[in-house]
Amino acid sequence: NQGQCGSCWAFSATETLESLYALATGETAPILAPQQLVSCMSNPNDCGGTGGCSGATQPLAFNYTETTGLTLESNYPYRAQTLKCQARDIVPVVKNTGVVQLPSNDPAALLGAVATVGPVSISVDAGAQGWSYYAGGVYTDACGFDVDHAVQLVGYGE
């Protein structure tokens, strides 16, 4: 639960890394620290917001995790606030080893990635009416183009 903090981008990125780690290693997924991204990742060009709880993008988060890595949430608990970075002495437990940017609005590429790689961090139009009533399962409403929320796509179909 991101609370009143615009950190969906951090949750989407960390949850995707957790899932891909578990798939790659066969081990239980580590619970990574989205607060580390919220507090420590810079957003110099104000992509997707001004950073922290004011928003950012998953590509920026993945770039950060490739260079810096992430620690466990137990080492850096989520506070739902943009706080001063406290990760200087924390040893990362996971580092991202690369990112593939899928073409925008290409359902075939997206479904192919989910089928062959696993969960994917995506951006959606959460302002669409269907999101207000979404409680779980397969989301079936039409996709919008005004993206304003980040989630993890874990599957498709029925």
What residue segments make up the domains of the chain, in order of their start? 7-153
Strands (E) in 61-145, as ranges, are 120-124
**In the chain, % of residues over pLDDT 90:** 61
Q: Strand, helix or coil at 72?
A: strand
pLDDT, position 50 = 87
Average pLDDT, the chain: 90
Spatial separation of the C-alpha atoms in residues 48 and 27, rounded to whole Å: 33
Residues 34 and 78: beta-carbon distance below 8 Å: yes
Give the bridge partners for 8, in sequence order: none
Spatial separation of the C-alpha atoms in residues 99 and 63, rounded to whole Å: 8
Q: What is the pLDDT of residues 118-146, one digit of tens each?
A: 999 998 888 877 777 888 888 877 777 78
Q: Name the residue with higher pLDDT: 27 or 140.
A: 27
- Secondary-structure class of domain 7-153 per CATH: alpha beta
